[in-house]
Amino acid sequence: MTFLNFFISGISLGSIYAIIALGYTMVYGIAKMLNFAHGDVIMVGAYVCFYAVSRYNLNPFLGVIIAMFLCTVLGILVERFAYKPLRQAPSLAVLITAIGMSYFLQNTALLLWSSNPKVFPSIIGRGSFKLFDGNLSVSHITVLTISVCIVIMIVLSLFIGKTKLGKAMRACSEDKGAAQLMGINVNATISMTFAIGSGLAAIAGALLCSAYPTLMPTTGALPGIKAFTAAVFGGIGSIPGAFLGGLMLGVIEIFAKAYISSQLSDAVVFAVLIIVLLVKPAGLLGKSIQEKV
Amino acid sequence: MTMKRLINLKRTEARRIFITYSAVVIAYVIFQVMSSSGFLSSSMRGMLVPICAYMVMAVSLNLVVGISGELSLGHAGFMSIGAFSGVASAILMQSTITNAPVRLALAMIVGAIFAAIAGFLIGIPVLRLKGDYLAIVTLAFGEIIKSILNNFYFGVDAQGLHFSMLTDTTRLLKGGRLIIRGPMGISGIMKIATFPMGFILVMISLMVVFNLVNSRSGRAFMAIRDDRIAAESIGLDITKYKMMAFVTSAALAGAAGALFAMNYSTIVANKFDFNTSILILVFVVLGGQGNMLGSIIAAAALTVLPEKLRGFSDYRMLLYAIILIVTMLGTNNAEIREFFTKLNPFRRKEEA
Amino acid sequence: MTKRIFTCALLILAMSSCAFGAPFKLGGTAPLTGGAAIYGTAARNGAAIAVEEINAKGGDIQFELRYEDDTHDAEKAVNAYNALKDWGMQLSLGSVTSKPCEATAAENFSDRIFALTPSASSAAVTEGKDNVFQMCFVDPNQGTASAQYIGEKGFAKKVAVIWKNDDVYSKGVYDTFIEAAPKYGLNIVSDTTFADGNDTDFSVQLTDAKDKGAELVFLPMYYQPASLILAQAQAMGYAPKWFGIDGMDGILTMEGFDKSLAEGVMLLTPFNADAKDELTVKFVAKYKEKHGEIPNQFAADGYDCVYAYYQALTQAKANADMSAEELCTKMIEQFTTMTFNGVTGENVKWSANGEVTKDPKGMVIKNGAYVGLD
């Protein structure tokens, strides 16, 4: 039973990684850039939601919607001013700009909202489902996070697979030049990707802070890196991969803490990642691209 | 025609190397004179050694990122290994080798050796991967090194050296000294790092990197970077060359780590985290991939910049972020670059 | 930039002209940005209030306070320290966090600038330095005191410890707690850790403590992870006794924190924002008015540091024309002999090696407020 309980804890933690990883992987899949500021957009989303709910006493779901809206705007602005001018630049330059953006958002948050941690009000309360005479408990927020993850995953997959805009995104991802020749507005498509990714970040922020309620300007940074790892784990660019990678990372982390050593759990997580990448160099569900000679 | 171009190319390369060396020497002489005649503020004087260490870090990472073409996000890990092994060896040598510069030099060599070994061991799996996957694995190794050092205990007493992991089970005899104390790192370090030694290390790493780049192996590195398949088809042993660049880079980072650590009375493993790796990567990208002088200037400028922004108190790090973004845009976007060039006629020269 | 310096200069001029003597230049480094900024800003704000109060009195002793950001990093702390030295710092407030303070304390020692740190509590900060003093308890003392408190009051026999594995403060307290525990009849049944990257989920640590039958969980850490631990323990229906140290202080003032979670939590802290003595009431009211928040232990330590300096300088009849080195000698003399009353303790004394002796107050949280344990 303890094992099952740990498994469920792992899934709860993993579902949070998964939802952050979805944003990472989507932006990477289309724009081919590691958006290191994603974790910080999540933090902004969480703060907006926090203020909407605790200061203005709005309904939590309304709070999430406001946060989504503001984060989408933020994502578009960030993309417009920091990433768009670098479309032709080497990918490393964009990476560094994204890191600069991450510092920028963190420090702005510090000035706006101070460094004092805030306790995030859970959007659906802190209850849990009890199974097997209360021996096993699954918190509501975990169930919600996983459901939201699955919904987002399906919607995103359908969106990218079936809609016209989604097709344009895939085309940009495959070959920007060719996409342009086919009459696709590459710039607009990439901006759209960021807008969607940032909107998702707001949901991730609300769920992250509902599950683990302290909120500080640095809240997004470390989960961001973990989620990035999860995205690579599952095969970066692959949407189901991000989901699977996130869940697995969470479970591995909890099991490493429980059965190996709580002190070395991070080392174990990263060691597993390395082994997986050595066996499957493009991640669990990633496409390995054949080299053309 | 092609021969002539080749000779020209060689000439420009030779001139670039010459400019790099002379810039470093001139800067050193200026700062050394200013420092000894008391013209330098404490703040600047305190930064001389770390700047040297960061320069070496930047140059060594540039060998991997710029010349060999692999993105590494865990370079601080090697710095960490060099710092811990270097400082520990310096403490062990404290009573036998009383001459501080000699001890520092030996400690840097020890740091370089340990980091090189780690670089070799990590290189075996890492260099089988490519692109962003390689990057994430180097990040992972950086985190693993941090995690291990946070749980590592090392002490010395009359019976010899004692190691332990996770908990301190070294049980030192009376008079023994617990040198590495897990999360508490090393305390009470004798601060023997000096600016002249830092300068020497910068010169040595430049020599190592330039010699490597302009040798047969160096041309192989670049051939692999520019077209891996073509390089492979003419029979270049890709793994061997990549490993050579990776291990050299790790060794230099190790020496830099030892130098850096011995400028402070205390170090902890958490100092050498992902953020530090990223910081060094920023030096390389800002200075230009493959451009050693650029790396050196960027390392110095970005170390001094946050200090110069202290006047803005709470807005300091925000401004730093903005300057970083604007510089990246300014150096990488054609339109913005043009705008800046018009604004400042000297700018191009600084970048060269 | 120049404009700013100019206004600063004007301000300084204005300040010094209304005072009787030139101000003492008091400088400290603190994390004002980054993850540890909560502690740095609090200490700075606390110190600033004391400086303001003292300067308003218009006596012979006036202060000019300057805090520089060290981002909780030893390298940046030395840079910040050097910047303060260039500014002409005469008295130092060290650094707020332990590792940076170890680095700056070494500089204080070699430069002969006296330092009184508000909250850098590791033993290595003062070790071997005659001019570095602490306002807070040194970590090893807290570990021993906690074990003694728990053992002697008979709170529990089976104890679990959850500590932060990459943190000097947590480790320092943990080490001595583990060492002292058997002496006071405590049996450590569960010993688990967390670190920076995995400080969100505590289910494994809590399950371990629960399964091993721990009656009390000792939390040598700051309040932010502690608040998560309390929430998660409640969610899994685990209700042991909780025991924290001074870093736990501040948990009740987190915006949005459900105070019922902390019901019954015991902690050793030198500062209690709810205390009714005149000093504390005055300080808390001022802090709230200025910053809209209830001050935590760091703010109180910062506040006390400035007043301790005030007392020592008054007694030593020091004036601001003295060099840092002269002041250093005088301060060493004063601090090793004087007794100080502040918001973080009464009858505070310092030993020659710079460690403070004051009684840790055992507190328990009842109905969302601290109540003395005795």
Tell me the per-residue pLDDT of A47-98, one tens digit each, with 9 for 90 and over.
999 888 888 888 888 989 999 999 999 999 998 888 888 888 888 888 889 9
Per-residue model confidence (pLDDT) at position A111: 87
| Contact status of B322 with chain A (Cβ, < 8 Å) | yes
Instruction: Assess if residue B263 is contained within a domain.
Output: yes
What helix, strand, coil percent values describe chain A, rounded to 5?
75, 5, 25
Q: Which of B204-218, B249-263, C197-211, C297-311 has the highest mean pLDDT?
A: B249-263
Which residues neighbour A108 within 8 Å (Cβ) at sequence distance 6 or greater? Answer: B318
Contact yes or no for C26/C89 (Cβ under 8 A): yes
CA C184 to chain centre: 27
Q: Which of A248-262, C5-19, C98-112 has the lowest average pLDDT? A: C5-19
CA distance C340 to chain A (A): 30
Q: Give residue B266's domain range.
A: 44-290
Chains with 3+ CB–CB pairs under 8 A to C are A, B
Which of B72, B121, B138, B144 to substitute to test the interface with A, most A CBs within 10 Å? B144
Average pLDDT over residues A215-235: 85
* Chain A contact set for C203 (CB, 8 A): 5-6, 9, 254
- Residue B26 above 70 pLDDT? yes
Average pLDDT over residues C108-124: 88
Cα–Cα dist C304/C307, whole Å: 5
Into how many domains does chain B fold? 1
Across the interface, whether the CB atoms of B143 and A266 are under 8 A apart is answered yes
Per-residue model confidence (pLDDT) at position C2: 46
Half-sphere exposure of residue C175: CA atoms within 13 angstroms, side-chain side: 21
Across the interface, whether the CB atoms of A85 and B329 are under 8 A apart is answered yes
Query: How high does pLDDT run on average in chain A?
Result: 85
Q: What's the pLDDT tens digit per position in C340-350?
A: 888 888 888 88
CA distance C230 to chain A (A): 11
- For chain C, list the domains and their CATH numbers: 2-137+277-357 (3.40.50.2300), 140-269 (3.40.50.2300)
Query: How high does pLDDT run on average in chain C?
Result: 84
- Residue C291 above 90 pLDDT? no
Per-residue model confidence (pLDDT) at position B225: 80
Per-residue model confidence (pLDDT) at position C21: 63
Q: What's the pLDDT tens digit per position in C66-80?
A: 999 888 888 999 999
pLDDT-derived band at B201 (thresholds 50, 70, 90) equals very high
Per-residue model confidence (pLDDT) at position B6: 65
| Contact status of B331 with chain A (Cβ, < 8 Å) | yes
Using CA coordinates, name the residue in chain C closest to B272: C73
Nearest to C165 among A120, A139, A263 (CB): A263
Average pLDDT over residues A135-162: 85
Across the interface, whether the CB atoms of A90 and B289 are under 8 A apart is answered yes
B132 or A181, higher pLDDT: A181
Instruction: Assess if residue B159 is contained within a domain.
Output: yes
Across the interface, whether the CB atoms of B65 and A267 are under 8 A apart is answered no
Instruction: Assess if residue B265 is contained within a domain.
Output: yes
Per-residue model confidence (pLDDT) at position A74: 93
- Residue C182 above 80 pLDDT? yes
Match 């399906």 to its residue by tokens: A154
Per-residue model confidence (pLDDT) at position A96: 87
Instruction: Assess if residue B332 is contained within a domain.
Output: no
Per-residue model confidence (pLDDT) at position C196: 79
Instruction: Assess if residue B1 is contained within a domain.
Output: no
ipTM: 0.86
Nearest to B317 among C33, C171, C172 (CB): C33
Q: Among candidates B32, B153, B43, which has minimal Cα distance to C27?
A: B43
Instruction: Assess if residue B165 is contained within a domain.
Output: yes
Per-residue model confidence (pLDDT) at position C373: 73
Contact yes or no for C203/C232 (Cβ under 8 A): yes
Average pLDDT over residues C169-176: 87
B56 or C357, higher pLDDT: B56
Q: What's the pLDDT tens digit per position in B29-85?
A: 888 888 888 888 888 888 999 999 999 999 999 999 888 888 888 899 999 999 999
Instruction: Assess if residue B33 is contained within a domain.
Output: no
Three-state SS for A42-81 is: HHHHHHHHHHHHHHCCCCHHHHHHHHHHHHHHHHHHHHHH
Domain map of chain A by residue range? 2-279
Per-residue model confidence (pLDDT) at position B250: 95
Alpha helices by DSSP H, listed for chain C, are 2-18, 37-57, 74-87, 98-111, 139-152, 168-180, 203-211, 223-235, 278-291, 297-316, 324-335
CA distance C212 to chain B (A): 20
CA C67 to chain centre: 16
Q: What's the pLDDT tens digit per position in A96-134?
A: 899 899 999 999 998 888 887 888 877 776 677 777 766
% of chain B with per-residue pLDDT over 90: 28
Torsion of CA B48, B52, B57, B63, to 10 degrees: 150
Q: What's the pLDDT tens digit per position in C238-276?
A: 889 899 888 888 788 777 788 888 888 888 888 877 778
Average pLDDT over residues C182-210: 86
Which residues neighbour A29 within 8 Å (Cβ) at sequence distance 6 or greater? Answer: A173, A236, A237, A238, A239
- Residue C231 above 90 pLDDT? no
Span A2-279: which CATH code? Answer: 1.10.3470
Across the interface, whether the CB atoms of B43 and C197 are under 8 A apart is answered no
Across the interface, whether the CB atoms of A116 and C192 are under 8 A apart is answered no
Nearest to B314 among C32, C79, C195 (CB): C32
Per-residue model confidence (pLDDT) at position C18: 44
Using CA coordinates, name the residue in chain B closest to C81: B43
Cα–Cα dist B349/A225, whole Å: 38
Instruction: Assess if residue B300 is contained within a domain.
Output: no
